[in-house]
Amino acid sequence: MTDVHERLREWWDRDSGTYDRARSHAISDPVEAAAWRAALLGVLPPPGSRVLDVGAGTGALSLLAAELGYRAVALDLSPGMLAQAERKARERGLEVELVVGSAMEPPPGPFDAVMERHVLWTLPDPEGALRAWRSAAPGGRLVLFEGVWGERNLLRRARDAAAGAIRRLGRTPPDHHAPYPEEVLAELPLARLPSPAPLVEAVYRAGWRAVRIRRLLDVEWAARLHEPPVLGRLEHRPRYVLVADA
């Protein structure tokens, strides 16, 4: 497990230099940022609440939460990623507490909410992490921003192949510095999920309750607006938010 964590840390440190060139990673497009602000206000407790952003990366959600008046704490395994978050917070005059550490060991609570975006699939023990987050927010809320990334039917494979060809022809750079190593992916139970069902089950097993889920249609729409039209349609994935109570 330690070796997997170290490999993950190294991979994301290397990715910190290229991660934000994808506008949806950085949420740098103003329309998409507006859609995300609405999404945050729709699922988080009232502004002023203390919110832990796990796997905060370069701080996209933490910074939006801080703008909205939340007391945001950004936790990430990668010092390189959080260095980018610190720079952006300073440039925008926002206050975000930055913590380098594992998702398995959240900083001291209590938090009113714990949120993440596309992080649980990267964890070797997602259920253990969900239990740790519940301990950090014993009377709080769980907010998971996720997507359906693991479809492997014939239509999905054809779309991925076409998108790859268009990226090569247009010399469009990939969203990350390199693909995830296959041997690391094999250690990640929630990687390549074709459905939210295994995630819902893991949340319940970790002790959270009253799980509810809805599509992030406004975020999907806003993200497609700033992508090349054909590429945006080919690479589109359903996105959703899962909310539960401690």
Looking at the predicted structure, is the pLDDT value of residue 163 above 80? no
Is residue 106 within 8 Å of 54, Cβ to Cβ?
A: yes
What is the pLDDT confidence band of residue 230, given thresholds at 50, 70 and 90?
Answer: low
Q: List the Cα angle 220/104/127 in 5-degree steps.
A: 65
pLDDT of residue 165: 73
pLDDT of residue 155: 66
* Residue 107, SS3 per DSSP: coil
Of the candidates 144, 62, 68, 75, the one whose C-alpha atom is nearest the C-alpha of residue 108 is 75
Is residue 23 within 8 Å of 35, Cβ to Cβ?
A: no
Residue-range domains of the chain with CATH: 2-245 (3.40.50.150)
CB atoms within 10 A of CB 120: 25
pLDDT of residue 9: 86
How far, in Å, CA of 107 to CA of 128, rounded? 15
pLDDT of residue 171: 75
Q: Which distant-in-sequence residues (6+ apart) come within 8 Å of 176 by Cβ?
A: 15, 18, 19
pLDDT of residue 192: 81
Rg over alpha carbons for the chain, rounded to the nearest Å, is 17
Higher pLDDT: 90 or 165? It is 90
| Residue appearing with tokens 């934000």 | 20
Of the candidates 87, 66, 88, 85, the one whose C-alpha atom is nearest the C-alpha of residue 76 is 85
How far, in Å, CA of 182 to CA of 148, rounded? 19
The tokens of 11 are what? 């991979």
pLDDT (tens digit, 9 = 90+) per residue, 76-88? 999 999 999 999 9
Which stretches of 17-98 are DSSP H helices? 23-26, 30-43, 60-67, 79-92
pLDDT (tens digit, 9 = 90+) per residue, 99-145? 999 999 999 989 999 999 999 999 999 999 999 999 999 999 999 99
pLDDT of residue 6: 85
Please write down the long-range contacts of 227-231, taking CB distance under 8 Å and 24 or more positions apart: 228/166, 228/170, 228/172, 230/166, 231/163, 231/166, 231/167, 231/170, 231/172
What mean pLDDT value characterizes the chain?
90
CB atoms within 10 A of CB 150: 15
pLDDT (tens digit, 9 = 90+) per residue, 10-26? 988 999 989 998 889 99
Higher pLDDT: 246 or 173? It is 246
pLDDT (tens digit, 9 = 90+) per residue, 32-46? 999 999 999 999 999
pLDDT of residue 173: 72
pLDDT of residue 71: 98
pTM across the whole model:
0.89
pLDDT of residue 167: 73
pLDDT (tens digit, 9 = 90+) per residue, 191-211? 888 899 999 999 999 999 999
pLDDT of residue 151: 64
Could you give the percent of the chain with pLDDT greater than 70?
A: 90
| Residue appearing with tokens 């796997």 | 55
The tokens of 222 are what? 């806003």
